[in-house]
Structure 1
Amino acid sequence: MRLHGAARRPITACLLAGLLVLGAAQPAAAAPRRAEQWYLDELRIEQAQKLSTGRGVVVAVVDSGVDATHPDLKGQVLAGGRSYGAGGDGRADEEGHGTHMAGIIAATNASRDGVDGIAPDARILPIKVYAGRDAPYDDSAITRGIRMAVDGGAKVINVSQGKPSAVTPEEESAIRYALDHDAVVVVSAGNTRSGDVEVSAPANVPGVIAVTGTTRGGRFWSGSARGPEAVIAAPGDNIYNVGPNKGYGWGDGTSDSTAIVSALAALIRAKYPNLDAANVINRIIRTARDAGPAGRDPQYGFGLIDPVTALSANVPQVAANPLLDPAAATNPTPVRTEAADEEFDVTQHGDRGGPTDQQVMVVGIGIAVVLVLLLGLAVFLIWNRRRYRREAALPADIPEDLLDPVPPAGYAPPSGYAPPSGYAPPSGYAPPSDYAPPGGTPPVPPRER
């Protein structure tokens, strides 16, 4: 059996499928974490959380364990157990896959760079199915893990794992045990890169919610397995949340899609505590948004999940699990609310999704900073131009007679001054008494006749 993630080894190929960008994830603070969680906006989780936060619901994560020391999961993780034959609880995770699933479900955004879970008031029951990275793996650990989850009080069981082969009697028995004890079992359909072309086991067991993956904008994710057993579709492409080593990262795969649907089941069970598992399942599929061919199809199943409608619509109750009723499971009557249809159209998001509130805020702040800088520059230029004009106009304001005054009687020649020969002395000039022209007595000019 393999976990639905990236194929790292034959037995656990899907464990890292969604991760593993997560394997190298570091607790960096480069961008607002919430802005990376596009699926929360596309699913209107903020609005859904006004109706329910999952309080009081225990969600089992049958996986690689859960790191209970991660800042965004502290206080959220119960002891759990280990189903591979070893003692100890499930609060350790060498791979990071189970921790990522738990974060999608119940992260609390408690750290400085935290992320949001869909059902932040739910509690996680970790069932660790193998010892750690490259550890020996036992297929029966999954079936034992499902039973342990039921016995541990879980009302929602998340199984983000599978294998591309026929279902075994042990798997069917474990699923039936969970359904008989009023647990909603949510299983990933599988990933094509892990060899899961068709819906894999145990997602193909009747009665479980087999989850396929979608991209931003609600398109079917090309990496998702598909088949007639598909029940519901949810985002599975570039899902950002907690990761190994107390870090964060992206996951790709139906593992992530499954955790999202498990979180929705927790929201419903908290909002409607009197509903049994059959009616929780019925509410999820009856409020789904039809996609692809009309009715149930091999890609989307009954359609895309719609958390707000699932938490608010008036859905008639059923007496048994609709996935075990051939007539109801084929094409149950959809339930819609006019207000929900008017509020949200998934096609408006496009392939890259709509902008989040945080992204709009960052852009707004950037524009404001640019405007302030431009305003400051304009004020400086105006001030500097006025200062220059004041300084240039200052000399023109001084009276001319103060700039270069002339004595009324004129200027006296300097002492010892004699004009050159041939020049008449200036008016009022008399040579000094002891002055004699050079070269003796000057000649007497001839008289005119």
Structure 2
Amino acid sequence: MTVNVGAIRPAAACLLAGLLVLGAAQPAVAAPRRAEQWYVDELRIEQAHKLSTGRGVVVAVLDTGVDANHPDLKGQVLRGGRSDGGSGDGRTDTHGHGTHMAGIIAATNASPDGVDGIAPGAKILPIKLDASRDEAAPYDAAPVSLGIRMAVDGGAKVINMSLGKPSAATPAELSAIQYALDHDVVVVVAAGNTAKGSTKVDAPANVPGVIAVTGTTRGGRFWSGSVQGPEAVIAAPGDDIYNAGRDNGYGWGDGTSDSTAIVAGIAALIRSKYPNLDAPNVINRIIRTARDAGPAGRDPQYGFGLIDPVTALSANVPPVTANPLLDPTAATADPAPTQTADAAEEFDVTQHGDRGGPTDQQVMVIVIGVAVVLVLVLGLVAFLIWNRRRYRREAALAANVPDHLLDQEPPGGYPPPGAGYAPPSGYPPPPGYAPPGGGYPPPPGYAPPGGGYPPPSGYAPPGYGPPGGAPPPAPPGSGNRS
């Protein structure tokens, strides 16, 4: 069996092009949703995931519940509970607010067009505060207080509360928060939004010891919709935050609720990478590695600064013995943190303003698409050139040997062999052919029927006297022996 190597080459080129198309298909589909997550790129979350994914950490989400069937949250949501006295385990969400927060924290990008979470290795413990709660509903301190205790008892090491009220915390809330702090839990709370009527940091974000989170826009600018005040601890993206939503969908969120979920996810990353750190040192690592913004030092807008997850995961931070938010000297007396060898290069937020151009992933998809088109075109051109050359070779061969000479017998048949022709040994002579000399000699050792040999050429048959009266020669085997 022979193989036409020339025929394989264009086929291989087409196969390679097809494989490239298959390899590029997934990013092309996934890019549109992921490209909306500007904050993931600005915070260098993909680089942070090389250091930690939040594996082994449980984050409680006190909210409207969490849709456990969302494609990017399947397998991420534990059985939780409801603090409003209703039945259920918190794994449903008709409103979508809690699902959005859970997605920001722990989405796995499992669906073909999914999104990334800050800590995809973490698990979500949903605590449903009120079945009828929506953003316009009055804040009810009783379910919040009970929900905090349920989260602590359920094994959460980080509590996310993307909620608040423009008033003081109740004694029940203060007691519940102290219960969480005493049980080594990091409590992260939204500072509040001006659109909801807040003019200063809401409760329970204004309770000492919790991380009160304000909001920023692209490039690290303070978000105008965020409240500010002396209780502010850290700032994180809160404008145009794209992630999971209700009905297995996706959507944008604006507010310190989103900022809080980002910080809660980063706290999970730290607790996973440094499992021996207690809550005070996790909080200390967050505020000590923050990038100072606004007035020098702690200020009402940014608190201690912009959150920096990569530095928080990689810097050498001196330990503290108390919660730095309860003991202000713990956050200022120690030497500044230093970068470890695996810390990333400095990230200049001023270079990441409100970008109108494509993201790096969109550029990659475009480049891959152009490369695939070029490979397909080159493969097609190579095939056409090869096919044309093959056709010309076959046409040239056909022109040199006419079909009527190959497929038809000449008129009148083929002529007999010429003089001197003898058939090969063992083959009969052609019909009508007489050998030169009037016959073939007998084969060696052959005796004709009846005995004797026919007379040689020129001799008469028996009974015939040759001229001159000479007797015929004696047959073989007769006569005297000497």
* TM-score exceeds 0.5: yes
Counterpart code for 1:230: A
C-alpha deviations, 1:76-101, integer Å up to 9, x for none?
A: 00010000111221101111000000
How far apart are the structure 2 equivalents of 1:162 and 1:311?
A: 29
Structure 2 equivalent of residue 90 of structure 1: 90
C-alpha deviations, 1:268-297, integer Å up to 9, x for none?
A: 000000000000000000000000000000
**Structure 1 pair 161/155, CA: closer, same or farther in 2 (3 Å)?**
same
Gap runs ≥5 in structure 2? 1-28, 386-482
Structure 2 equivalent of residue 357 of structure 1: 360
Structure 2 equivalent of residue 246 of structure 1: 248
- Taking only aligned residues, the RMSD between alpha carbons, in angstroms, comes to 2.6
Shift of 1:362: 3.2
Give yes or no for the alignment of 1:270 onto 2:303.
Answer: no
Structure 2 equivalent of residue 430 of structure 1: none
How far apart are the structure 2 equivalents of 1:48 and 1:30?
A: 21
**Structure 1 pair 375/197, CA: closer, same or farther in 2 (3 Å)?**
farther
Secondary structure of the residue that 1:234 maps to in structure 2? Answer: strand
**Structure 1 pair 331/222, CA: closer, same or farther in 2 (3 Å)?**
farther
1:421-436 equivalences in 2 (<5 Å): none
How far apart are the structure 1 equivalents of 2:327 and 2:139?
A: 35
Counterpart code for 1:364: V
TM-score (norm 2): 0.68
Structure 1 equivalent of residue 211 of structure 2: 209
Per chain length, whose mean CA-contact separation is higher, i.e. which structure has more relative contact order (CA < 8 Å, sep 6+)? 1
Secondary structure of the residue that 1:105 maps to in structure 2? Answer: helix
Structure 1 equivalent of residue 180 of structure 2: 178
Shift of 1:346: 1.1
How far apart are the structure 2 equivalents of 1:195 and 1:129?
A: 22
2:143 is aligned, of 135, 141, 144, to 141
Contact 1:217 1:352 in 2 (8 A): no
Gap runs ≥5 in structure 1? 1-28, 384-449
Shift of 1:375: 9.8
Contact 1:130 1:137 in 2 (8 A): no
1:326 is aligned, of 300, 308, 328, to 328
Shift of 1:166: 1.5
Structure 2 equivalent of residue 344 of structure 1: 347
Shift of 1:372: 8.6
TM-score (norm 1): 0.73
How far apart are the structure 1 equivalents of 2:268 and 2:328?
A: 26
How far apart are the structure 1 equivalents of 2:331 and 2:256?
A: 21
1:108-257 equivalences in 2 (<5 Å): 108-132=108-132, 138-257=140-259
Structure 2 equivalent of residue 57 of structure 1: 57
How far apart are the structure 2 equivalents of 1:171 and 1:353?
A: 44
Structure 1 equivalent of residue 105 of structure 2: 105
Contact 2:188 2:212 in 1 (8 A): yes
**Structure 1 pair 80/67, CA: closer, same or farther in 2 (3 Å)?**
same
Contact 1:217 1:353 in 2 (8 A): no
How far apart are the structure 2 equivalents of 1:338 and 1:125?
A: 33
**Structure 1 pair 334/188, CA: closer, same or farther in 2 (3 Å)?**
farther
Contact 2:62 2:126 in 1 (8 A): yes
Shift of 1:238: 0.6
Shift of 1:374: 11
Shift of 1:326: 2.8
2:307 is aligned, of 267, 285, 305, to 305
Shift of 1:336: 4.4
Q: Structure 1 stretch 239-248 or stretch 319-328: which is displaced more? A: 319-328
Contact 2:162 2:256 in 1 (8 A): yes
How far apart are the structure 1 equivalents of 2:145 and 2:191?
A: 17
C-alpha deviations, 1:381-431, integer Å up to 9, x for none?
A: xx9xxxxxxxxxxxxxxxxxxxxxxxxxxxxxxxxxxxxxxxxxxxxxxxx
Contact 2:228 2:300 in 1 (8 A): yes
The number of aligned residues is 352
How far apart are the structure 2 equivalents of 1:246 and 1:306?
A: 30
Contact 1:115 1:242 in 2 (8 A): yes
Q: Structure 1 stretch 259-268 or stretch 125-134: which is displaced more? A: 125-134
How far apart are the structure 1 equivalents of 2:144 and 2:223?
A: 26
How far apart are the structure 2 equivalents of 1:310 and 1:238?
A: 24
Structure 1 equivalent of residue 17 of structure 2: none
**Structure 1 pair 354/256, CA: closer, same or farther in 2 (3 Å)?**
farther
Shift of 1:363: 3.7
Shift of 1:334: 4.1
Contact 2:78 2:125 in 1 (8 A): yes
Structure 2 equivalent of residue 294 of structure 1: 296
**Structure 1 pair 294/355, CA: closer, same or farther in 2 (3 Å)?**
farther
**Structure 1 pair 157/30, CA: closer, same or farther in 2 (3 Å)?**
closer
Secondary structure of the residue that 2:325 maps to in structure 1? Answer: helix
Secondary structure of the residue that 1:36 maps to in structure 2? Answer: coil
Contact 2:72 2:109 in 1 (8 A): yes
Contact 1:296 1:330 in 2 (8 A): no
Identity rate of aligned residues, in percent? 81
Structure 2 equivalent of residue 5 of structure 1: none
Counterpart code for 1:278: P
Counterpart code for 2:42: E
Contact 1:214 1:221 in 2 (8 A): yes
Shift of 1:171: 1.2
How far apart are the structure 2 equivalents of 1:355 and 1:216?
A: 15
Counterpart code for 1:78: L
How far apart are the structure 2 equivalents of 1:334 and 1:254?
A: 28
Contact 1:106 1:263 in 2 (8 A): yes
How far apart are the structure 2 equivalents of 1:301 and 1:163?
A: 20
Secondary structure of the residue that 2:316 maps to in structure 1? Answer: coil
Contact 1:73 1:107 in 2 (8 A): yes
Contact 1:238 1:252 in 2 (8 A): yes
